[in-house]
Amino acid sequence: MSDYAELNLDGNSYQLPIIEGTEHEKGLDISKLRATTGHITVDTGFKNTGSTQSSITFLDGEKGILRYRGYPIEQIAEKSSFLEVAYLLIYGQLPSQAELDQFMTSIKEEWLVHEDIKTILTGFPADSHPMGVLSSLVTAQTAFFPESLDPYRSAEKVNRTIIRLIAKMPTMVAWAYTRSKGRMSNYPNNELGYVENFLKMMFSTRAQEYEVDPIIKDAMDKIFILHADHEQNCSTSTVRIVGSSHASLYASIAAGVNALWGPLHGGANQKVIEMLSHIEENGGDVGKFIDKAKDSDDPFRLMGFGHRVYKNFDPRATILKKSADQVFEKLQIDDPMLDIAKHLEDVALKDEYFVKRKLYPNVDFYSGIIMKAIGIPIEMFPVMFSIGRLPGWIAQWKEMREHQEPIGRPRQIYVGATERDYVPLDKR
Ligand code: SDX
């Protein structure tokens, strides 16, 4: 294989070095292109552009492969726990028992939040979308921990911020949720595990402590694991570019929450349920909605279908589809929405429009159905995605800062008005 590509421009020939990764992905290094040729590349939406070299997550969209630090998602989902996956993504290795215990101890030291968070929450209308509340509370952490604003702190102090984020996000989410329901806040309990503690803080009331069904705990743990990282997606790229300005980790994560909120990204799981509900209310006429999705004049898209990278099954959707069957069977749930989802999938996967465009169910197609079955309110679905994605965002931000990557600043091709003189108001 050649070490470079040859570019012929205006009678000159230039060599672009070829970068090959450990999984034999190849890229052209264009870091000196403008300086040597006066040209830039243009790739709206970055469909063909790599932003970095990373060791965290590998995915192959054609083969439907996803690995965290080399470990296949199928093995991770079956054998690991969300907290172990968080450690793996952030620190690069599976932890020993002692390391995992210490990680959990550090988290328990930090999972209480400042009581003034309640004061901040009273400023939000009860029906505020929880993603807006979450990004505000994450940003507000810079007020409680101003030392996090120092971009040149020691790695140990940065790690304290990492622990605080992993520890405090579930508590802030639970406080925001209970407040939106007019209920008292529940506090973390050091006797409990990470996911069990979160579910109890969310759903216990003063009158009734929430009993965590092991099936629900395992399903929530698996949903968090499957959402933990996904290389340079929209929200992760946002976290990296905000962090590249040496903004604090809190500011970078809050930006990631806002990017994830979009219905084409992490907001899709909420839209999937709204779409399935709409189909159910319209007599379950799946064909009508498939036709709407195919109509280029109709803005309707099949939410939970298609992916920028996966042109085969999203391996996470495959795992979640099995998990949905198990949860529904064990909890004795008979929700027509699952049947509609499966019918929609069957019809779409045989339809030329979807086959030709390689549109398959993605992670959001089944995650919403499971979260609905275990009692997560629909508006909280993207928030669950945020809790799951947090370790990945942190790992990517940490890698970018440790590699001392430059501030992200793409170029453009200007296509506006050429130079012209100002026209005084009375002459217009
Ligand atoms: C996530 O990037 C990640 O890794 C994201 C994620 C993660 O873990 O971080 O995996 C999480 O965001 C999953 C995706 C969740 N979003 C949805 O489910 C929303 C529905 N999906 C689409 O909006 C779309 O598929 C995207 C946004 C996911 C991907 O869009 P692309 O890659 O920009 O593709 P495109 O919009 O250029 O579409 C290509 C063609 C178009 O048709 P033509 O112009 O060729 O005729 O496919 C069509 C699109 O109209 N198309 C769809 C469709 N998705 C694409 N048509 C109907 N329904 C859809 N869902």
Instruction: Please spell the DSSP secondary structure of 185-244, one letter per residue.
Output: PP---TTS-HHHHHHHHHH--SS-PPP--HHHHHHHHHHHHHTS--SS-HHHHHHHHHHT
Which ligand 1 atom is at minimum distance from the Cα of 293?
57
- Ligand 1 neighbour 367 (Cβ under 6 A): no
Helices and strands of the chain, counted as H and E runs: 18, 6
φ, ψ (nearest 5 deg) of residue 310: -70, 115
| pLDDT attached to residue 318 | 93
| pLDDT attached to residue 163 | 98
Q: How far away, in angstroms, is 353 Cα from ligand 1 center?
A: 13
Q: How far away, in angstroms, is 65 Cα from ligand 1 center?
A: 18
- Ligand 1 neighbour 264 (Cβ under 6 A): yes
Distance CA 111, CA 190 (A): 9
Distance CA 389, CA 381 (A): 12
| pLDDT attached to residue 282 | 87
Q: What DSSP designation does 361 have?
A: B
- Ligand 1 neighbour 381 (Cβ under 6 A): no
- Ligand 1 neighbour 168 (Cβ under 6 A): no
Contacts 24+ apart (CB under 8 A), 212-217: 213/331, 215/326, 215/327, 215/330, 215/331, 216/327, 216/331, 216/374, 216/375, 217/193
Q: How far away, in angstroms, is 96 Cα from ligand 1 center?
A: 39
Instruction: Judge whether 6 and 14 are in contact, CB under 8 Å.
Output: yes
The protein residue with its alpha carbon nearest to ligand 1, atom 18, reads: 304
Distance CA 111, CA 191 (A): 13
| pLDDT attached to residue 208 | 96
29 is catalytic: no
Distance CA 147, CA 145 (A): 5
- Ligand 1 neighbour 67 (Cβ under 6 A): no
- Ligand 1 neighbour 359 (Cβ under 6 A): yes
Distance CA 155, CA 133 (A): 29
β-bridge pairing 26-28 and 12-20: antiparallel
Handedness of CA 297, 300, 302, 303 (dihedral sign): positive
For 30, the token pair is 């264009």
Q: What DSSP designation does 305 have?
A: B
Which of 229, 239, 265 most suits a substitution to test ligand 1, by most atoms within 8 Å of the C-beta? Answer: 265
Instruction: Judge whether 333 and 374 are in contact, CB under 8 Å.
Output: no
For residue 148, give the 3-state DSSP assignment. Answer: helix
| pLDDT attached to residue 337 | 87
- Ligand 1 neighbour 88 (Cβ under 6 A): no
Of 24, 364, 421, 426, the catalytic one is: 364
The protein residue with its alpha carbon nearest to ligand 1, atom 2, reads: 233
For 195, the token pair is 């996911």
364 is catalytic: yes
Q: Give me the residues paired with residue 55 across strands.
A: none
Of 227, 230, 265, 307, the catalytic one is: 307
pTM: 0.95
For 125, the token pair is 């209308």
The protein residue with its alpha carbon nearest to ligand 1, atom 32, reads: 308
- Ligand 1 neighbour 363 (Cβ under 6 A): yes
In order along its 428 residues, the chain shows pLDDT tens digits of: 789 999 999 999 999 999 999 999 999 999 999 999 999 999 999 999 999 999 999 999 999 999 999 999 999 999 999 999 999 999 999 999 999 999 999 999 999 999 999 999 999 999 999 999 999 999 999 999 999 999 899 999 999 999 999 999 999 999 999 999 999 999 999 999 999 999 999 999 999 999 999 999 999 999 999 999 999 999 999 999 999 999 999 999 999 999 999 999 999 999 999 999 999 998 888 999 999 999 999 998 999 999 999 998 899 999 999 998 889 998 898 888 888 998 999 998 899 999 999 999 999 999 999 999 988 999 999 999 999 999 999 999 999 999 999 999 999 999 999 999 999 999 99
Distance CA 150, CA 164 (A): 16
Q: How far away, in angstroms, is 308 Cα from ligand 1 center?
A: 6
- Ligand 1 neighbour 260 (Cβ under 6 A): no
Burial class from Cβ neighbours inside 10 Å (0-12, 13-18, 19+) for residue 280 reads: middle
| pLDDT attached to residue 100 | 98
| pLDDT attached to residue 5 | 96
Quick one: which H or E segment has residue 58? Answer: strand 57-60
| pLDDT attached to residue 121 | 97
How many CB atoms lie under 10 A from the CB of residue 8?
Answer: 8
Which ligand 1 atom is at minimum distance from the Cα of 304?
18
DSSP 314-356: -HHHHHHHHHHHHHHHHTT---HHHHHHHHHHHHHHHSHHHHH
